[in-house]
């Protein structure tokens, strides 16, 4: 039988790199995808994934038995993504002020990012590009709901926001995507 996440975390807390590797293999694509769709950039998503696992290792002692590893790890990744979004906003704020209004958060996704999804076809490319152009708070709930298939309560726990906020951000995100993509008119 496969060792449970929580059991592996016990070993990680005692310094076991093999256990950390097992958790990494189990969650790398999930956290990577979450960060990719939340940030719209592959390189940044890899940085987030790396930093998430460094923190998992360093703070393993804070992990309490009975807690779900996935929620705990996503909370770390989500915090890192938000820091990154703030950093990018600040940098943009200095170099190139963005016009206010609903398009204020829009930014062109990094050149290499949605193109890398070529295998998934052009429609998925366009969708990924439009997700990348949404406000960060909508991107993160969309990623957790659709890429990770999380329930609202899990998303609320990972992002530390009320369930009602999860719902309203999802609705706003889905509505905005439909408005931007002609194939869903």
Partner 1 sequence: MNCPIDSDTIIACCLGELDDLRAGEVRRHAGSCERCGRELRAFASLCGALDALPRVEPDGRLWGAILARVERTWPLLPWRPAVAAAAAAIAVALGYVFTREAPRPPAGVAVEEMGSRFAHRRIDGGDLSASLRTYLGDARAFIDEALACGGDRDRWRALKERAAERDMVYRALWLRERLIAGEGRRGGGEEDFALVDDLLRILRLVSDRPAEALAADREAIGREIEDMDLPRRLERGAGW
**Residues forming the site for partner 1 (CB under 8 A):** 13-17, 20-21, 24, 28-30, 32-33, 36-37, 42, 45-46, 49-50, 53-54, 57-62, 116-117, 119-120, 123-124, 127-128, 142, 145-147, 152, 167, 170-171, 174-175, 177-178, 181, 183-185
Smaller CB distance to partner 1: residue 104 or 178?
A: 178
Q: Which is nearer to partner 1, 128 or 157 (CB)?
A: 128
In the complex, least distance from residue 17 CB atom to partner 1, rounded to whole angstroms: 6
Q: How far, CA to CA in Å, does 129 sit from each of 112, 158, 181? A: 11, 24, 10
Q: CA torsion angle for 154, 158, 159, 165 (degrees, to 10)?
A: 10
Q: What's the closest the beta carbon of residue 94 comes to partner 1, in angstroms? A: 16
Least distance (Å) between residue 173 CB and partner 1:
9
**Cβ proximity to partner 1, 75 vs 117, nearer residue:** 117
Within 8 A by CB and 6+ apart from 75, the residues are 157, 158, 159, 160
Alpha-helix runs per DSSP H in the chain: 5-13, 17-39, 42-58, 69-95, 122-132, 136-142, 152-159, 163-180
**Cβ proximity to partner 1, 8 vs 45, nearer residue:** 45
3-state secondary structure of 103: helix
């Amino acid at each position: 039988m496969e060792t449970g996440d929580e059991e592996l975390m016990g070993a990680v807390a005692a310094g076991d790199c093999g256990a950390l590797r097992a958790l990494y293999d189990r969650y790398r694509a999930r956290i990577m995808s979450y960060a990719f769709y939340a940030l719209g950039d592959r390189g940044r998503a890899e940085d987030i994934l790396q930093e998430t696992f460094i923190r998992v290792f360093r703070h393993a002692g804070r992990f309490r038995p009975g807690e779900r590893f996935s929620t705990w790890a996503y909370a770390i990744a989500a915090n890192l993504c938000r820091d990154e979004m703030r950093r990018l906003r600040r940098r943009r704020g200095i170099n190139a002020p963005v016009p206010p209004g609903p398009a204020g958060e829009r930014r062109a996704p990094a050149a290499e990012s949605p193109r890398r999804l070529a295998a998934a076809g052009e429609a998925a490319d366009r969708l990924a590009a439009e997700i990348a152009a949404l406000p960060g708070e909508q991107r993160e709930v969309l990623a957790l709901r659709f890429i990770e298939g999380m329930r609202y309560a899990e998303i609320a726990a990972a992002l530390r926001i009320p369930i009602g906020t999860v719902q309203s951000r999802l609705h706003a995100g889905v509505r905005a995507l439909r408005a931007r993509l002609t194939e869903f008119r």
